[in-house]
Structure 1
């Protein structure tokens, strides 16, 4: 019996297994690829499990990550994992007054602002709390370098200020009370095709940041140049390596920001999937095998309610799972248990001979798993999640759904 079979026997299936040692290794690899002056934010949207978030915060044998969040739920997870408010960057285009009040009340002081009204909302809430919040103006660049990755800029979007019109609104932004315009935030792409694409995009971003600083007469204290680091999703393989990235970033910064090594400004990158994707595997049980008009369907107890297929921003269903199994001798479609033809995890992929009671293991499933899935669809229980460190179980848990009456209702 292998480790996954042992764990599925103990905790049932579907089951996510996360290796916290792998999380720490990914963090070290990425920080080693960046100049040591860089800070690194972990985007909790990839996997907000507090044990994973805590592992990325703990220094260990590498520098610690900061937290990038987009909701009060992620804020709660970050705080539970040990982050303080001043270690957190709050992002997103839809921050409500209630969310801003809760975040500022819990010590968050840095926000990525997506629009003039977003800055106004942040300032109004900061004033109400008697504090000043730092705003990073998120920039939607009119131009880009890489063209082979998932683009996040260059088109009309709810994300960010258009780089070509930012100058027009700056006088009004400067008059908003309760905020300090502290810097810029970029997120031009996700899942870069290769190191050359990533370097080209980062170099373009650094040059644009320098241009905007000069044109807008905006002294920059902090610049987040985004991410784009790549790791396979639900298919075999290793996360990408970036041996030339550190020197390329340093050269670009030396050219455009001569005092960057002294912290003027401070620079950061952010990553979600790269840091946690390779740490997890999804173990699913085979419920049934059916042949229909000559095609084989392996029906699993895990479907899009368990593994939703969000392999990065802008990328949704369908997922395309591949198994890392040397016994693969057959071809079949892997489908889930839901009453919809969209519950397809892998179409006509290589599989071993499978029957009811067997298990399959989906690799590189540590990011965009349960919390990016249709967890409540059809009311099936959420998958169990098991954390390992040194090969030993650290914790085992399951997200539970329950309906809670609201105050003011007949049952409140």
Structure 2
């Protein structure tokens, strides 16, 4: 059996359960929402678990490529079977050492964030006798979807400010060791609705066409970003986009008439949408405490287990449900973790039935930004178990282990 109670009893809590059938469904739904010619990158930062990576890579011609931003993610995606030519390396702080590692292991496509970043890629490629295909990441001055989480239009370490590109065109075309392959956009995250998503893609495609003329380089590759929404740690169903496919095709036909023949190849990217609804966090109530008219439900899972990138200083909305029947609806409570810090909170004023120590709770839609986006090593508590299932079949159980290695004559 692979139900929450059986898995919690067998492997303990806190633990994550990922269902590969849900991963495959999300991958297939998103590919179905895109024109057949559009490729799809999976942002490994959302969840780099090897079983999930392998599932997203599978699917033949409609399998995902990998988008990474570290050597650790490079290790993960290569181990999961992604070939170097199927990887896009991104990030604002790519060092010479990691660029050397990536190029040596077959990566040839890089998103670059600034003239200095582009030059660093080129210098590293030249030392290795290679040429790196580079995308110019664009920080657009404006956008179309005013109701979503904007990722551009403000000062940022990400991307070339779009208004500076005309003056940089000649310089960018002539960086030794590089070949400008095209552009990379990521203008918004978690679009409010499909209309917002479509509007942003249309704006991005039009901006890309203008920049192709400005840069004087025929693009071979165009990454138009993502923004595909999905519920995260709250109740809800992952949306299916019914209008996107035709809208994207129309916009690309207008601005890049050769795209269906690969001039340029076009890609989108996604993280949360592809894995969020595959995961459930299992956690046990350790204690229930009332303090000055405020209730705290203390769990064995905290920001070290489900931080939601807790270093950003924000508390994500979280839905918690008792797995078994519980008493009547009780007092709104703060969900506290086990860590010795007042910052260890998963939610405030969360309404749930009255619970008691020892009761198993579940957090839905928790397949993205779990252990590796948490304060995993803080206070030295063990990492949660990660349990992978496919329907009723148990696929694997693993746990991230923390180890320290020594140099200068000490054993490694």
Q: TM-score, with normalisation over the residues of structure 1?
A: 0.96
**Contact 2:2 2:393 survives alignment (8 Å):** no
Please state how far the C-alpha of 1:280 moved relative to its aligned partner: 0.2
Measure the CA separation in 2 of the matches of 1:317 and 1:304: 11
Gaps of 5+ in 2: none
- SS of match in other structure, 1:165: helix
Matches within 5 A, 1:74-153: 74-153=73-152
In structure 2, relative to structure 1, the CA distance for the partners of 1:291 and 1:197 (3 Å cut) is same
Measure the CA separation in 1 of the matches of 2:42 and 2:280: 20
**Contact 2:321 2:361 survives alignment (8 Å):** no
1:323 aligned residue:
320
Measure the CA separation in 2 of the matches of 1:299 and 1:93: 38
1:31 aligned residue:
31
Please state how far the C-alpha of 1:58 moved relative to its aligned partner: 0.8
2:44 aligned residue:
44
**Contact 1:235 1:324 survives alignment (8 Å):** no
Please state how far the C-alpha of 1:332 moved relative to its aligned partner: 2.1
Please state how far the C-alpha of 1:66 moved relative to its aligned partner: 0.2
**Contact 2:46 2:275 survives alignment (8 Å):** yes
- SS of match in other structure, 2:155: coil
Question: For 1:362-389, what per-residue CA distance to the aligned partner results, in whole angstroms no more than 9, with x for missing partners?
Answer: 0000000000000011110000000001
Please state how far the C-alpha of 1:294 moved relative to its aligned partner: 2.3
Alignment of 1:200 with 2:199, yes or no, is yes
**Contact 2:2 2:392 survives alignment (8 Å):** no
Alignment of 1:259 with 2:258, yes or no, is yes
**Contact 1:236 1:324 survives alignment (8 Å):** no
Question: For 1:287-338, what per-residue CA distance to the aligned partner results, in whole angstroms no more than 9, with x for missing partners?
Answer: 1111112222111010001001239xx9652122112458571232211001
Please state how far the C-alpha of 1:410 moved relative to its aligned partner: 6.0
Question: For 1:95-135, what per-residue CA distance to the aligned partner results, in whole angstroms no more than 9, with x for missing partners?
Answer: 00000000000000000011111111111111111111100
1:370 aligned residue:
371
Matches within 5 A, 1:52-71: 52-59=52-59, 63-71=62-70
Measure the CA separation in 2 of the matches of 1:111 and 1:15: 35
Please state how far the C-alpha of 1:263 moved relative to its aligned partner: 1.0
**Contact 1:67 1:89 survives alignment (8 Å):** yes
Please state how far the C-alpha of 1:3 moved relative to its aligned partner: 0.9
Task: Number of aligned residue pairs: give it.
Answer: 408
Matches within 5 A, 1:325-404: 329-330=329-330, 331-404=332-405
Measure the CA separation in 2 of the matches of 1:247 and 1:214: 25
Measure the CA separation in 2 of the matches of 1:390 and 1:345: 28
Measure the CA separation in 2 of the matches of 1:366 and 1:390: 15
- SS of match in other structure, 2:141: coil
Matches within 5 A, 1:305-320: 305-310=304-309, 317-320=314-317
Q: Which runs of 4+ in 1 moved over 3 A?
A: 324-328, 409-412
Measure the CA separation in 1 of the matches of 2:227 and 2:182: 20
1:173 aligned residue:
172
Measure the CA separation in 2 of the matches of 1:409 and 1:336: 40
- Root mean square deviation of aligned Cα: 1.7
Measure the CA separation in 1 of the matches of 2:212 and 2:265: 14
**Contact 1:319 1:344 survives alignment (8 Å):** no
- SS of match in other structure, 1:387: strand
**Contact 1:308 1:317 survives alignment (8 Å):** no
- SS of match in other structure, 2:351: strand
**Contact 1:309 1:316 survives alignment (8 Å):** no
Please state how far the C-alpha of 1:352 moved relative to its aligned partner: 2.3
Gaps of 5+ in 1: none
Q: TM-score, with normalisation over the residues of structure 2?
A: 0.96
Measure the CA separation in 2 of the matches of 1:15 and 1:411: 32
In structure 2, relative to structure 1, the CA distance for the partners of 1:32 and 1:411 (3 Å cut) is closer
